[in-house]
Amino acid sequence: MSRGRFITFEGTEGVGKSTQLATARQALEDAGKAVLVTREPGGTPMAEAIRELLLSPRDEAVNELTELLLMFAARAQHLHGSILPALEQGTWVLCDRFTDATYAYQGGGRGVPQEQIAMLEQLVQGEVRPDHVILLDAPVEVGMARARSRSAPDRFEREQAVFFQRIRECYLQRAEQQPSRYHVVDAGQPLDEVSRRVSGFIATLLA
C-alpha cells in the first residue's frame, strides 16, 4: 500500500480554508481516494482540549512561549495519534493549518524567533513535513471582514490588523523560499474561481 499524501491549507483569518478543504476532499473522493480532513490545533480529543485553551478569550495575558509550547503539544498528539497512522494506511490527509501556521502566527505575528520554532518542529515531527501547502492569500482587511461576520471572535481574531499583516508577510516569504512545496491561490477572487484553482491543483497531484 502506498503512503497517502499530506496536504495543508494555510492563510490568515477569513480566507476560506474550510470551504476549500471541502473542495479538495470532494475532488479526492471522486477520484477514489480515502481522505481524512482534520485541523490544527486539534484533531484528537486531547488536542481539541488544548485548542480550547488556546482560542478562548481570557483576561490573563498569554505568554508567547506558553502559546508556542501548547501549539506543539497539540501537534505532537495530533501527528502521532491521527495523521501518521492515516498516511501509513494510504489515506490522504487534508489539514486546516500545520507548522507553517506556527512560523506565521507565533513567529511572524508574535515575534518568537524562527530558530525556537524550528527546534520544536524537529523534536515533534522529525523529518515529517506536509507534501504540499495550499496558501490561500487575501488582503488582511478582506479576511478580517469575512471572519468578523461569522461569529464571536476568538482570542486570535481579536488581534489588530498589523498582527495579521505580519502573518501574511511571513506566509508569503515562506512561499517564496519554498516554491516547490507552496501553491499560492488568490483567495480574494470570487469563490468559484478559488475553488477552480484548488480543484485544478488537486487534479495535478492525481495525474
Annotated binding site for ATP: 11-18
Question: What is the C-alpha separation between 125 and 110, in angstroms, rounded?
Answer: 22
Q: Nine-digit cell at 171?
A: 506566509
**Structure-derived torsion over alpha carbons of residues 128, 17, 198, 81, reported in degrees to the nearest 10:** 30
Helices (runs of H) and strands (runs of E) counted in the chain = 9, 5
Binding residues, by number, are 11-18
What are phi and psi for residue 37, nearest 5 degrees? -105, 125
